[in-house]
Amino acid sequence: MPAGVDRADGDGIARLTLRNEGRRNALAVDVFDGLDRELTALEDDPTTRVVVITGHGSAFSVGADLAAPPGRRTLRGDSVTADLTRLRRVAGIAERLHRLPQVTVAAVNGACAGAGLSLALACDVRIAAERAVFNTAFLGAGLSGDLGGIWFATRILGHARARELFLLPGRLPARDAAAAGLVTRVTADDSFPTDVAALAAQLAGGAPAAIRAMKENLRDADRMGLADYLDAESERMVATFHTDDAREAARAFLERRDPVFTGR
């Protein structure tokens, strides 16, 4: 089966599976192409509330497919200009993943390294199986890093821990990754699929407009001064207050039941 990205949908959740069989889901150009197509479709999809990204088989993604034929690699060595054009394109895919209006979950089912780690860091939440192992891996390949991995890691972990992670690369087991703050939670290998489904369902059960506005708040908090942030935050708070979902939440609280959100 050719490499790419498989998609399955249900209950407001889109599950994207990175697939490059025999290569531990290394990121060949066709995998990036598949991810690009799916993210394009999801950007304007109001029916999808949560996007889960995982890997086929026993790995998440080990990063760039350095052993692929030149035509399937991002960096080919044909010229600096051509390599830079292709890399900027795939870097834009990571940025679009980070900016998706839906909540994004990286379900790290195994080895996660290099550009594969960058994609996981671009997501809102990371859940890992016990067997998962993380590695920045770039220095070992004589490379400086791509797809925003350092940018994401610095904001998630802080400057000192991100420097350690990238300047002193090595295998980081899932429990150590969680202790460092790289992973939101770790679950047993045998319960991992069930735990991922439960987490996705919990996130999909939230009020869609509120979650999308909250994601915008989280992004703005990273780039705005306080005064500008408070202005934007206030607009979103009032906008969500005037939704049917906010009124439903208030009724459900008074009636001591779970709310049923419709996205309106």
Which pLDDT score, from 0 to 100, does residue 70 have? 87
Residue 233 to residues 19, 140, 210, 224, 225, Cα–Cα distance (Å): 39, 43, 12, 11, 12
Assign a CATH topology to domain 4-204.
2-enoyl-CoA Hydratase; Chain A, domain 1 (3.90.226)
Predicted TM-score (pTM) of the model is: 0.92
Which pLDDT score, from 0 to 100, does residue 155 have? 93
Give me the torsion for CA of 201, 40, 99, 263, rounded to 10°. -40
Which pLDDT score, from 0 to 100, does residue 27 have? 95
Structural domain boundaries in the chain: 4-204, 208-254
Which pLDDT score, from 0 to 100, does residue 258 have? 87
**Average pLDDT of the chain to the nearest whole number:** 94
Which pLDDT score, from 0 to 100, does residue 238 have? 96
Task: Report residues of the chain scoring pLDDT below 50.
Answer: none
Which pLDDT score, from 0 to 100, does residue 144 have? 93
Residue 244 region, left (φ>0) first, then alpha (ψ -120 to 50), else beta? alpha
Which pLDDT score, from 0 to 100, does residue 222 have? 86
8 A C-beta contact, residue 81 and residue 31: no
